[in-house]
Homo-oligomer: A and B are copies of this chain.
């Protein structure tokens, strides 16, 4: 008889359903290939009478998390309720009770991964969270197995499908941000409250996990410089399209001299870079290793079945270790002991769009201030002037050479004080 791995699942929302369904679809292949059967035996469901859109025997449901977290028959707890609490508390209880944990919860892992990973090691069990970063894309598994022999120098991710969908639609159809957001909400690609996505916070959680996995150091989401896409306008899209760039919300980090620099922000990506062709709701992670060189993973970063695929991959991975009764000495994916320190964004090339009064001497004023702050200008473009409230104004677009962002912001503060500057509308990193 085949060994059966008993799984208890917390939550039966979209990802819970996708995980359940992916297991039903592929039960036979998994069983034939691995030599064991996976059974989801209990599911925490606060509303057992709500229609979940798939058939699940009622007797699997419980409204009491402790029935799963303390059940001695359950080998693996899969946490899919999302949010930081009570998810973290539930995972901690499961680990303390000697159960391995698989989760798709980026917020909880970014906030409490260090504590949970330590708890897993103490209790000789595993904590896995492939689904928390880039959905179905097997980036964490690859980095910690087949690619382990590399030291990585940089990572750049398109880690949020909602913002990538919005930016792609803006780029392809010349539509404005607000218009595309409304359309994305109507199609279910964006939440009614889109803040976590369009503000870059979702991507910052994922980048925090990637930084720990790749560089072995702490970068709390709140310490990661994060800028969303709400200031990206038609004019920026037009400039990018006309200058050989695509605009992407990039979550990036790189190592230089023992320090880790990085952040989340919209960036101009050269069309020749493989990340530039990652369109619509797709995600991608680009890494550069000192042996493997450039590598990119592309796929679906969200959705019930793709995320369920990653959750099940982790469940199978944990089950294989359980089979060997040797889970305790498997290397954890998160590391915080490399001695590298996360220090924020570092110096980058930047794109700045501002609105100025169209008269002689304006450009001279701006470039003088940039110069005083030690900022060199690579290019400047003035767009066609037009009239607003009886005044002739024109958009100016600068690209400046590498500069620390706080230095740039200092210069822009001073520039903005000039009467002839109407507004500073957008700042984006230029990726190289």
Residue pair B130, A26 in contact (C-beta under 8 Å): no
The answer to whether B136 and A317 touch across the interface, beta carbons within 8 angstroms, is no
A141 surroundings in chain B (CB, below 8 A): 141-142, 145-146
How many copies of the polypeptide does the oligomer hold? 2
CB distance from A246 to the nearest CB of B (A): 11
Query: A142-B138, A142-B141, A277-B277 in contact; A22/B331 too (CB < 8 A)?
Result: no
**Which stretch, A227-235, A295-303, A344-352, touches the partner chain B?**
A295-303
Complex Cα distance A298/B288, Å? 12
- Assess whether A147 is interfacial by the CB under 8 Å rule: yes
Docked-complex contact A306 and B291, CB < 8 angstroms: yes
Chain B residues near A148 (CB-CB < 8 A): 30, 33-34, 312-313, 316
A308: chain B residues at CB < 8 Å are 149, 291
Q: By the criterion CB–CB under 8 Å, are B289 and A293 in contact?
A: no
A371 interface hit (Cβ, 8 Å): no
Interface residues on A, range: 35 or more
Query: What is the CA–CA distance of A200 and B306 in the complex, to the nearest angstrom?
Result: 33
Is A151 an interface position by the 8 A CB rule? Answer: yes
Choose one: B23, B272, B294, B309; the contact of A147 (CB below 8 Å).
B309
B136 and A292 form a contact (CB under 8 A)? yes
With both beta carbons as reference points, the residue of chain B lying nearest to A305 in the complex is identified as: B291
C-alpha spacing A130/B292, complex, angstroms: 13
A35 touches B (CB below 8 Å): yes
Q: In the complex, what residue of chain B is closest to A279 when comparing beta carbons?
A: B272
Q: Which residues of the other chain, B, contact A298 by a CB distance below 8 angstroms?
A: 274, 294-298
As a 0/1 sequence over residues 29 to 57 of chain A, the CB contacts with chain B under 8 angstroms (1 = contact) are: 11011110000000000000000000000
Given A26-B150, A29-B151, A296-B299, list of 17 further CB < 8 A pairs? Answer: A25-B151, A25-B290, A25-B291, A32-B337, A130-B146, A137-B295, A138-B146, A138-B147, A141-B146, A149-B313, A150-B309, A274-B278, A291-B305, A293-B303, A293-B306, A296-B297, A297-B298
Which residues of A line the B interface, CB within 8 A?
18, 22-23, 25-26, 29-30, 32-35, 130, 136-138, 141-142, 145-151, 272, 274, 276-279, 282, 289-300, 303, 305-306, 308-310, 312-317, 320, 323-324, 326, 329-331, 335, 337
